[in-house]
Amino acid sequence: QRLSVFLGHPVYSLSVLLFTLILATGIGSLISDIVPLDSRPRFFIWALFTGAYVAALPHWLPRVFLAFDSANVLTRAILCVITIAPAGLLLGFGFPTGMRLISAIDSRPTPWFWGINGAAGTLASTIAVASSISFGIGTTLTIGATCYIFLIPTALLFISFGAHRP
């Protein structure tokens, strides 16, 4: 939402930010095949970096916006790409990692998890908009970051990394 205001027009926001987020998450998904989160340390580092990056955004991004407020649209768009791409790259690891972990246990519910992911994504985006309106964007980002940090103890307690069942 802040990036949309910074770019100055909803059309720019949709084209630049949505394209960047989709491309970066796709690249993150591809990288997750090369560098899989198949051990507790790798998963821990990924969840920590993802949560930390999202949590840090409200603290440094407003100063960047102020510094580049008078820049031309192309410069602001490039800045938005640079800002959102790391988050998308990190977020791209989540779904393929979860699918690999679940498939190692039992591949039969895979179609259900695709559906649950779609429904959860739609619901989460609606809740994020409502949360941003009610509590502010910073609070919404903090809640999202906290969810990624909570993945750490959950994964460490319940997921057996590297243990593949037939």
Alpha-carbon dihedral angle through residues 9, 10, 15, 16, given to the nearest 10 degrees: 60
One digit per residue, the tens of pLDDT, for the chain of length 166 reads 778 888 888 888 889 999 999 999 999 999 999 999 988 889 999 999 999 999 999 899 999 999 999 999 999 999 999 999 999 999 999 999 888 888 888 889 889 998 999 999 999 999 999 999 999 988 999 999 999 999 888 877 766 665 544 4
- Look at residue 165 in the predicted model and tell me its pLDDT: 44
The angle at the Cα of 59, spanning 57 to 60, to the nearest 5 degrees, equals 75
For residues 130 and 135, give the distance between their C-alpha atoms in angstroms, rounded to a whole number. Answer: 8
pTM to 2 decimal places: 0.84
